[in-house]
Structure 1
């Protein structure tokens, strides 16, 4: 089983003081060049994909003015970056709690066209009352309802992506027929949270179905991944946690009658040539932030070789790979690309060239048949 390697991009990095790191380029956060450079760097490391964080609330608490505030729309950033890159998958985050799945499906289908088949979407839920208040339509749902709604949203996305058959566009100038109307389908979805007739206004994406990913750290989220996602990001603290996580996800996958679901472990990484230097840098960043770094993901401060040891251990325990959260993009992302990747390659755990042109291809997932194509 090949190892899959991803990087999660958020602002200047995952440490609250990352914007104060030398070379952080905090003044360029809202420029296309900044994000393009990050993805090109990850591409140089032959990573499977990058995810781009997004949300409706501010990153920092309201009373903090010493942390990054404000963000660009992740899907629009991805659409700008995609034409400047090749090989690597680009997976923006979309908050499905307060967004219409019709709009998300159209945006991600467009990204799949712009990237020539390298798109995906990380679906995210939010139960924050302050974010619900931004929309004013309802109170924040409870956890079970949040994830039930997310499942319906993904089902709508997938049906809308299939609502055009692959050969629906005729483009016959002689007859004046641009589209075969018989190959556009109403999805007629009726669920607890959405009623969507369809079809989409965007033709079927190049991958047929762009990749759907989700972060999971509680049982209801494990069910969402197993039932609806292609890729799940999970947060084990120890190797011993992995079998239980995989068991929950694969049980849901089997009940849903689905095939492959890749599960990647998240790690927040602080890398340096020596473990002592990494620990000292983390201490310095914590001092700048005024608090010790905390995370839902395991925090690893050490050398690229030590990180490779842990990745190999987690892979042997059954994970498809890892998604790394660089503490600071300026320092840790180059070390992931230029030190960790060569170490993994020496161990036979990472590719030496992109072997497929699409994200589904990189993940070893076939292009799915259209669910409506055989309907009369």
Structure 2
């Protein structure tokens, strides 16, 4: 990496709080509060039709009132689900969290998952990711179907909404159509944050077109930097402002070594594994890795998945994050209240209000 490639924005950090076998809210709340204590941008909670476990979006809606600043990003599978229901549920999470919601878009590729619904057969990944992009598109349109001041709540006249500020979306996708408008008022963030794991080619195209945050599984800063550059290039080709797409390196971390150096063979960095790049070592070396990759311009930040959730997240927050804060590399407090503010992303203008205000 050259000096000119250095990251121009602040470091962003996020962590997974997945806990296999946990069905109560308390364990998830505990980890979300721990992440919040470290001023992490957001936490994620995975979900899949192929695995047993609680609904991620429902869990994060449950713990939203117990947290105050950390962003909440559940995985939401767009295959076999109704786009209208998906957008309403994500909008509701944004309301109950006061603007801290995101959603990690994912697809369902197996026949076993398709049989759970019985409506259609499994489809190729390319088609499913194209559909996922359409779901992300129509979700934004539905969130914009209520203008920000559509609710008037006029007791004297008995008018709750201004019907002129509700809009049909009349969206026709490849596998679904939606008329709208939404049944949920426009979310506090305007558009909750869209997260896509952009490691594979088909998902990368969807991320470049629709994501606010793209995750890339890379075992070196060179790999990560190349993925970031490709995503930014493609976003620009699609008419987007590349600087509005945050690219985070996704690493699995095993901090069981405490303060010891990185495990021999890791060389202070991650090694490729079947589950993705794995870093095994101590919090200090991990802080060096994070600061090095970010300072070299390879990524805008990191999404970290602890091998042992409670142990590793505690060592991440109390060790790695504290050291990064001490060095002035990572913030010590949340400067804003919403997830978009944490990420340095503007609240999008409502497309209908923008058209109404355009004299042309």
Both proteins in one fold, TM over 0.5: yes
TM-score normalized with structure 2 length? 0.90
Partner in structure 2 of residue 353 of structure 1:
333
Pairing partner for 1:36 from 12, 29, 35: 29
CA offset at residue 374 of structure 1?
Answer: 4.1
Structure 1: unaligned runs, 5 residues or longer: 13-25, 59-69, 281-292
Partner in structure 2 of residue 46 of structure 1:
39
Is the contact between residue 51 and residue 93 of structure 1 (CA under 8 Å) also seen in structure 2?
Answer: yes
Is the contact between residue 161 and residue 200 of structure 1 (CA under 8 Å) also seen in structure 2?
Answer: yes
The superposition leaves residues 12-48 of structure 1 with CA deviations (integer Å, 9 ceiling, x where unpaired) of: 5xxxxxxxxxxxxx5xx11111111110111111100
Is the contact between residue 31 and residue 310 of structure 2 (CA under 8 Å) also seen in structure 1?
Answer: no
Residue 16 of structure 2 corresponds to residue 8 of structure 1: yes
Partner in structure 2 of residue 313 of structure 1:
292
The superposition leaves residues 327-367 of structure 1 with CA deviations (integer Å, 9 ceiling, x where unpaired) of: 00121010011001111112221111110010001111111
Counterpart-to-counterpart distance in 1, 2:105 and 2:250: 16
Counterpart-to-counterpart distance in 2, 1:242 and 1:35: 29
Partner in structure 1 of residue 304 of structure 2:
324
Counterpart-to-counterpart distance in 1, 2:126 and 2:49: 20
CA offset at residue 307 of structure 1?
Answer: 0.7
Partner in structure 1 of residue 129 of structure 2:
147
TM-score normalized with structure 1 length? 0.87
Partner in structure 2 of residue 289 of structure 1:
none
Is the contact between residue 308 and residue 340 of structure 1 (CA under 8 Å) also seen in structure 2?
Answer: yes
Pairing partner for 2:211 from 219, 229, 233: 229
Comparing 365-374 with 159-168, which one deviates more in the overlay?
A: 365-374
CA offset at residue 375 of structure 1?
Answer: 4.5
Is the contact between residue 11 and residue 330 of structure 2 (CA under 8 Å) also seen in structure 1?
Answer: yes
Structure 2: unaligned runs, 5 residues or longer: 1-8, 265-271
Change (3 A) 1:295 1:350: farther
Residue 250 of structure 2 corresponds to residue 266 of structure 1: yes
CA offset at residue 247 of structure 1?
Answer: 2.4
Residue 165 of structure 2 corresponds to residue 178 of structure 1: no
Pairing partner for 1:106 from 63, 68, 88: 88
Partner in structure 1 of residue 112 of structure 2:
130
Q: How does 1:272-311 map to 2 (within 5 A)?
A: 272-275=257-260, 294-311=273-290
RMSD: 1.7
CA offset at residue 10 of structure 1?
Answer: 1.5
Counterpart-to-counterpart distance in 2, 1:360 and 1:118: 8
Moved over 4 A (4+): none
CA offset at residue 143 of structure 1?
Answer: 1.5
Counterpart-to-counterpart distance in 2, 1:99 and 1:344: 40
The superposition leaves residues 299-324 of structure 1 with CA deviations (integer Å, 9 ceiling, x where unpaired) of: 01101111112112221233110000
Is the contact between residue 225 and residue 299 of structure 2 (CA under 8 Å) also seen in structure 1?
Answer: no
CA offset at residue 177 of structure 1?
Answer: 0.8
The superposition leaves residues 216-262 of structure 1 with CA deviations (integer Å, 9 ceiling, x where unpaired) of: 11222211111100001110112221232112211221122122100
Counterpart-to-counterpart distance in 2, 1:85 and 1:218: 33
CA offset at residue 192 of structure 1?
Answer: 1.1
Partner in structure 2 of residue 116 of structure 1:
98
Counterpart-to-counterpart distance in 2, 1:78 and 1:295: 28
Query: How many residues get paired?
Result: 338
Partner in structure 2 of residue 17 of structure 1:
none
